[in-house]
Structures are given as C-alpha cells and as structure tokens.
Structure 1
Amino acid sequence: MKLNGNSLDEVLKKEALSDEDIVFLLGLTEPEDCKKLQEAAYKKTTELMGNKVYYRGLIEVSNVCTVDCRYCGIRKDNHGVHRYTLSKEEILEAAMFAAENGYGSICLQAGERNDPKFVSFISDCLREIHRKTVSESLPNSLGITLSLGDQTKEVYEEWAEASGNRQNLRYLARFESSNQELFDFLHNVLHKKSKQLEHRLQCLQWLKECGYQVGTGVMIGIPGQKLEDLCSDIRLYQKLEADMIGMGPYLMSEGGDLKSLGQTENKKLFQLSLNMIAVTRLVMGNINIAAATAMQVLDPQGRETAISYGANVVMPNLTPLQYREGYQLYDKKPGLKDDPETFGLKLEERIQSKGREVGWNLSGSSRKWLNRTGNSQEGYDGKKGAGEQFVVWIKSSES
C-alpha cells in the first residue's frame, strides 16, 4: 500500500506523521499491513516506556448517575438498573487487596455525581486508602486514578489533597469525540442538553492545574464517525498534552438510547481499535495507554492484542462480585465473575505471552508527565516480594 508515492514502510519511519499519514494508517485492513503497524508501535513502546505493563485495580464505586449519556448502560434514565454504592469498608477492602497483591495502583470509577455528600465520601475514602496502604512495598501508598466525571476545580483540588499522594494521582475524563456533532449525538437526549464538549475540555484544564496526570480518550466506531474524526481526536490529545489515554470501541448497550443503530461488525471494529491504539502511540510517544476491557468483547484475546499494539496499562476488576452485574456500560461486559484472587496471575501469563512483564508494586506514572514536571518515579523491583528499593530517574529525552 502507498500514500502519495510513499510505501507503508516509509510512512512508519517518519518522525512526525501528517494528518494524511494518520488517516492512512488508521484505515489499514490487510493483515500484512496491520502487522507492520503493530510492530512499529510495539517497538516505539519498548523504546520509550520500557517492557512493563502496569495494573490499575478497578473499583466501580457506584452506578448511580445524574447524567443521561445515550450510549451508556447506567445512564440516569435507564430504570432497569439496580443502583448501588459501595460502602467505604468495601472500597478499602478492594484497595487493600490491590496493595497486598502488588498492583501498585487502583482506579476509582463511578457514575457522575456532584452532590456534597458524594464529594465528601470520596475524600474520606481517599484519605483512608492513603493511610492504610503505605508500606515497605508502597512507601508512598497506592497510586490513584479517579474517573468520576465533571466536577468543579475546587472538588478536584479537594480530592488531590485528600489523596495524600499527588505524585501518583491521575484522573481519566474521556471527551469521547472531538467532533461537536458526534459529541452532541452521544450525550444529548432530545430536549435535554446534559453534556457540553467545551466544559469537558475545561475540566481537563483544571485537572492539569491541580497537578493530576491527565487522562482522556474517545469512542472508536461511533455511528457516523470517519477516520478523519479519529485523526482529529489524536490531534486533540496532542493539544491537551494528555499524559494517558483510555479509549475503546463503541459497543451497543441494551440500557442505552442508541441500541437501534447497532454497531460496527466485530472484526472490523477490533482492527480499527487496534490501529487507533498503535497510531496514538506513534504520535503521542511516551504516554500511558490502557488496553480497554471492552476489547475482550470483540475478541477473546482483545486486551492482550492491544498490548502488542502499544498499550501498557490494564485494569483488572476488583469490584466485589455481587455488584458487577449492575455496572455494565455496554452489553456482554467480560469479567463479571472473575475472581480477583486468581485473575491477576492469569492475566500476568497472558501479558508475558506478548513479551511484556507486569510492573509489580509500581505506580507506573506517565513518563510524559514525569518529564514535563521534573519529577522522579520511585518504586521497587518489579517482582512481588523483592525488597530492593530503587529510584528511576526519567531524563527529559522526550518532550
């Protein structure tokens, strides 16, 4: 395949990709071409990020939500969902499991709420997680990622202070699409304007000002989406100077408001999602990219294949088993019955099959963020139980 006389090999060797290059790479479908893209992204990941994949133990705090995003299975107007909120004790138990089993980092995720009771509850949990997870293996406590929707700058600051560990603090707020029409299509129910793209971008700016490692992302394969839209999404990642990306395929939800539209055929959507991961790695360089659990819906080896295309973060589910059925953002969500006691080790074997190793007891901060802020990353040798402390100094070789 060629683009303007340049072969695929020549495009992949470029230091900077044009918009035309990005659209060209995103549209690859031939197995041989996709393999070349995968190899280029895997190589760049190794060069810039090393060989480790980091665990973020996922704790789905609550499926109570005050907004009505049309694609989502726990949207406010889906009255068929049994609502729940974990107790502080249940959250702490899951966090302690992560800390004691070498995960190094957790993610607290929930439906979107802004009420003072919820804000205080999260602050309380963050303080307790920090207090209880400081140990020889985690001298600065567990790393924390929050994915709790749009809040005020004051709330972001309150949670950052409560975390007790700003050096290992992240926030994931996906903008879903940089195309204003697609954004409105996803978020705005008829006669209800529940979300604004401009406000989501403002929230990302506030998060950066509060010192968070800022994560964002998009849906891939939205009805009506073009390759040029995905290219624009990557350009917005650049403009935002994102430290991490969490993105995945657009999947239908029976509890959503868009099920009549269906979704792209699995094999085609899977390859497009892999291409998006790879091209994002080639363009963005030394950021963290998550291998979305949703990839498993499209292919049994979806998460591991995403790692081979440039992802370096996975999110094993630590939500208590009895609540998982209630937190299905899309249909056929995998892992509803996975036992945390054995799942993390099984996942390690699959990660190793892709030539990677788990960064045990490491928070896995974004190297782009480390470079930008001049921070160092402290951790321990990447084997559970090893007692040798080390400090990795990240030099500003990548902007």
Structure 2
Amino acid sequence: MESDVNGVRKMEKKELVQMLALEDFEPVYRRADAVRRENTGDIVHIRAIIEFSNICRRQCLYCGLNSTNEKAVRYRMSVKEILDTARQAVDAGYRTIVLQSGEDPHFHKETLGEIVTAIKEMGAAVTLSCGELTFEELRYLKNCGADRYLLKHETADPELYDRLHPCGTLKERVECLKNINRLGYETGSGFMIGLPGQTLETIASDLLLLKELNCKMAGIGPFIPHPDTPLAGEKAGDTELTKRAVALARLLLPKANLPVTTSLGVVNREEKDNAFACGANVIMKKVTPDPYKQAYEIYPAKLEKTDVIGDRKKLEEQIRQLGRIPL
C-alpha cells in the first residue's frame, strides 16, 4: 500500500474507478470508518446554515435558484434578520454558522464583512458559501474573520461542466478554489452523484480534484432533479454510489470534514446512519427562518418549520443514539 509523505493513501484514477464498481464495498466502508475514527474521532460537528438570499445571477441547469427560473419566489434577508438568526443559533449551541446564498451582487464585500465580523464577536466560526468571488473580495472577507469557504466544483469533467453551466467554466471555478486556499481559508469543495452524462471515471476525477485542491471540507451528495429546471425529467443520483464516494474521499482526505449532505437525507432519510458509518463526521442543520427556508429550493424537499433550539436537541439525541458525540 503506497502512501504519500503525509501517510495518506495514494490512489490513482484507475484504482478509484475499480473501487467504485466493487460488488462488495463493505470492506472499504469499514476502512473509511476506521480512518475517520483515527483522524477525527467520534465527534459529529453540527453546523447551522443560514440561507440568507436565494437570488442568483447564475444559470446552472440543475439548480432551482438559477436566474432563469421565473417560478422561484425570491428573497433577501436583512442584515438584522441574519444576525438575529445567528444569535439564536449560537445560543442554541452551534459553534459554526454557515452563511449560504446564491451569487447575489446585492451583498457586496462590505456588507458580508459586517455580518462576518458580528458573528465572530458572538464567538462562532463562520463558513461562507456565496459562489465565486474575486481574490480581493475573498481577501477582504478573510480579514473580517471568515474561517472557511465552501465552493463546490460540481463536476471535474470540463465538457459536462460547460453543458450544465452556461454562465462559467470549470477553469474559473478551480482558480477561485485555489485563491480560497491561498488566502488561508479552510477550503471546501464537492460534487454531485448522478448528473446526466457522469461516469465512474468522472467521479474518480472529482475525488482526485478534492485531493489536488487540498480540501479540508468536501460535500458529496446525490443529484436531485428540480421540476422547474431543464433537468426536471432526469433520474435522481444513487445513494449507494454517493456513500461510496464519501468513503473514498475519507481515504484520500483522512482529516477532512465530510458532511452528511442534506440532499442525501432528502433522497432517503435512512441513509444518514449509513453515511456516518462510511466516513462522514459533520451534519448541517438549516436554521433559516420560515418562510425563507421553503423558498431556498435548490432541489425539492419537504421541510419542517424551523425550531432552532428544538431541532438542535433532537439532532444531538439522534447522534448520541449512533454512539457519536454531538458538538
């Protein structure tokens, strides 16, 4: 078994493809779970997500927030609403606030910086997920105290990326991710399983790109078609293949934070337990106020009303039942 200088398992693309196609993947799941335990312990980090704007200038074919979807009910939360929600989350025990939005030009760097600084003063870490920003914008927000930045590359296949994103290129996305890393953020990326035209070779390339980008976070979830997008009639991504990708990501990135994505839970809520058993150590919880939460529909999902304190307690209990430690 060959390892790199840090002791991390080295795998080539061909080997990853073969592993993704294994008839019996259980030994890999067990290894991924062991690597998770060795490197991140039994703690499950619970992050609070505030989806503060669903306005987006992008045209991504799979996303319900894309700018061409005229059926979307658009909103922007005010700075006060964002900070009030963050305060509720911190008071409920959340240690990280994830600020997520479409690419909304209204929230320029000064406004976002004000929000980041205020949340940091509450004692919480801040993860931003607001799309592609310039180097200067990213630097400004880092100086305001932002800790992490999540920007999924979605697919490492340039041709598939071009088909799905008439508004950008994979090269631009990767360059932005490299800037995020250069600036000292805890860098996060990720991709979907089941995109039309995706192959096992594509998924292997996705995994290797996470490694190349030195990602400290990686969100991997199944594609879920949205009825108001050009991909409405496509088949949803396979949960088993998604879990396999998470497990291989754990082997490639032993110390990374790997979440059980909300999309995996939407496809089949029973899959959450299995995802934690194959290498995941993070879960995201929406604290977005109603009715904004219902309108932030990247993919269709049945969502319960927001109860910041009650939802947190319920999730902590579920994590304890799995033999893990909620944090």
Q: Is the structural similarity TM-score above 0.5?
A: yes
Contact 1:74 1:255 in 2 (8 A): no
Amino acid in the other structure paired with 2:141: W
Instruction: Look up the match of 1:37.
Output: 28
Residue in structure 1 matched with residue 160 of structure 2 by the alignment: 182
Determine if the alignment matches structure 1 residue 281 to structure 2 residue 250: yes
- Alignment partner, residue 196 of structure 1: 169
Deviations 1:219-270 (A, max 9, x none): 1111121111111111111111111101211110012221133334xxxx01
2:5 is matched with which residue?
none
- Contact kept, 8 Å, 2:150 with 2:187, in 1: the verdict is yes
Work out whether 1:26 is the aligned partner of 2:20: yes
User: Could you tell me how far apart the structure 1 residues matched to 2:272 and 2:292 are?
Assistant: 23
Q: Distance in 2 between matches of 1:37 and 1:239?
A: 22
CA distance, structure 2, for counterparts of residue 50 and residue 68 of structure 1: 40
TM-score, normalised with respect to structure 2 = 0.93
For 1:183 and 1:106, how far apart are their aligned partners in 2? 29
Alignment of 1:221-240 (within 5 A): 221-240=194-213
1:336 CA drift (Å): 4.1
CA shift, 1:273, in A, is 0.4
Contact 2:89/2:309 (<8 A) preserved? no
Deviates more, 1:350-359 or 1:179-188: 350-359
Structure 1 unaligned residues grouped into runs of 5+: 1-13, 134-140, 189-193, 360-399
Where 2:285 maps in the other structure, the secondary structure is coil
Q: RMSD value over aligned CA atoms?
A: 1.8
- Corresponding residue for residue 329 of structure 1: 298
Question: What SS does the corresponding residue of 2:286 show, helix, strand or coil?
Answer: coil
What pairs with 1:246-395 in structure 2 (closer than 5 Å)?
246-264=219-237, 269-331=238-300, 333-359=301-327
CA distance in 2: counterparts of 1:57 and 1:303, whole angstroms = 17
Q: In terms of Rg, which structure is larger?
A: 1
Q: Provide the aligned length of Structure 1 versus Structure 2.
A: 321
In structure 2, runs of 5+ residues without a counterpart are 1-7
Instruction: State the partner residue of 1:71.
Output: 62
C-alpha separation in 1, matches of 2:286 and 2:268: 18
Alpha-carbon distance between aligned partners in 2 of 1:347 and 1:185, rounded to the nearest angstrom: 38
| Structure 1 residues 127 and 71: alpha-carbon distance in aligned structure 2, compared to 1, 3 A threshold | same
> Scaled by the length of structure 1, what TM-score is found?
0.77
* Deviation, structure 1 residue 98: 2.0
Report the Cα distance in structure 2 between the residues aligned to 1:342 and 1:174, rounded to whole angstroms. Answer: 30
* Alignment partner of 1:113 out of 104, 120, 132: 104
Structure 1 pair 334/350, CA: closer, same or farther in 2 (3 Å)? Answer: farther
The aligned residue for residue 157 of structure 1 is 139
Q: Quick one: distance in 1 between partners of 2:96 and 2:255?
A: 19
- Structure 1 CA distance, aligned partners of 2:93 and 2:149? 21
Aligned to 1:129: 119
Output the amino acid matched with 2:18.
Answer: F
Distance in 2, matches of 1:173 and 1:130, equals: 21
